[in-house]
């Protein structure tokens, strides 16, 4: 039987392209559940991201700076290997809908097979955030829709500059 580590470190992985209020809600809630939370941006050169890993790191650091127990990092390769390197015993995943669960279950089972000492914990999205995805936010703003309340204000500004060519505020 395994024992609980003295410090429970969790990793919340994702592309965060960009971070949404749904992501931020999970980060806030998880920061109260674990001793340390590492928000880990997946470096995936095969996927065309809107923002670079460095820009996503900056955005995340801006919105989590008030959480002393939250760190922003990036990784490539297998998540469970990165988790083991960082001393994490938990992988945190958010679930918005049943369709998320099916995919996340497959990933969790594969991760358990690769590293049985690392547990996957699912947190359900709050109802207010259950429909928000980075992809949908980008699509809505590209088409001229209002994304206020879907992403942090600083992220909305970056999206407006990147996708709509709006100037930076003085």
- The 10s digit of each residue's pLDDT in 85-124 is 999 999 999 998 888 898 999 999 999 999 999 999 999 9
Instruction: Write down how long the chain is.
Output: 170
Q: Which among 121, 37, 28, 43 has a CA at the least distance from the CA of 72?
A: 37
Tokens of 131: 């429909």
**Which residue in the list 31, 56, 134, 158 is annotated as catalytic?**
134
**Which residue in the list 15, 23, 89, 129 is annotated as catalytic?**
23
Local structure of residue 118 (DSSP, 8 states):
S
Any domain includes 168 = no
Question: Who contacts 153 (Cβ-Cβ below 8 Å, separation ≥6)?
Answer: none
Residue 169 pLDDT class (50, 70, 90 cuts): low
**Which residue in the list 4, 47, 113, 168 is annotated as catalytic?**
47
Any domain includes 117 = yes
Respond yes or no: is residue 4 known to be catalytic. Answer: no
Instruction: Tell whether omega for the bond before 18 is within 30 degrees of 0, i.e. cis.
Output: yes
97-101: which pairs have CB atoms within 8 A and are 24 or more residues apart?
Answer: 97/130
Question: What pLDDT does residue 97 have?
Answer: 84
**Burial of 117 per CB tally in 10 Å (0-12, 13-18, 19+):** exposed
Any domain includes 72 = yes
**Which residue in the list 29, 96, 112, 162 is annotated as catalytic?**
96
Any domain includes 163 = no
Any domain includes 43 = yes
Any domain includes 161 = no
Any domain includes 66 = yes
The whole-angstrom separation of Cα 113 and Cα 159 is 39
Question: What pLDDT does residue 69 have?
Answer: 96
Any domain includes 101 = yes
The total number of structural domains that make up the chain:
1
Residue 13 near residue 91 (C-beta atoms within 8 A): yes
By mean pLDDT, which of 2-6, 30-34, 73-77, 103-107 is the weakest?
2-6
Can you give the CATH number for the domain in which 26 is found?
Answer: 3.40.50.620
Respond yes or no: is residue 134 known to be catalytic. Answer: yes
Domain region containing 23: 9-130
Give this prediction's pTM: 0.92
Respond yes or no: is residue 96 known to be catalytic. Answer: yes
Question: What pLDDT does residue 129 have?
Answer: 85
């Amino acid at each position: 039987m395994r024992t609980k580590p003295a410090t429970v470190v969790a990793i919340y992985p994702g592309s965060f392209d960009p971070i949404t209020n749904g992501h931020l809600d999970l980060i806030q809630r998880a920061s109260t559940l674990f001793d340390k939370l590492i928000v880990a941006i997946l470096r995936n050169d095969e996927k065309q991201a809107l923002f670079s890993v460095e820009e996503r790191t900056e955005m995340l650091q801006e919105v989590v700076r008030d959480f002393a127990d939250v760190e922003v990092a990036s990784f490539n390769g297998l998540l469970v290997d990165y988790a083991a390197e960082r001393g994490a015993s938990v992988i945190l995943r958010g679930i918005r809908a049943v369709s998320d669960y099916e995919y996340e279950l497959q990933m969790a089972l594969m991760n358990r097979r690769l590293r049985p000492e690392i547990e996957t914990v699912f947190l359900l999205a709050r109802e207010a955030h259950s429909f928000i995805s980075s992809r949908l936010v980008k699509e809505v703003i590209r088409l001229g829709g209002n994304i206020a309340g879907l992403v942090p204000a600083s992220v909305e500004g970056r999206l407006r500059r990147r996708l709509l060519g709006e100037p930076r505020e003085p």
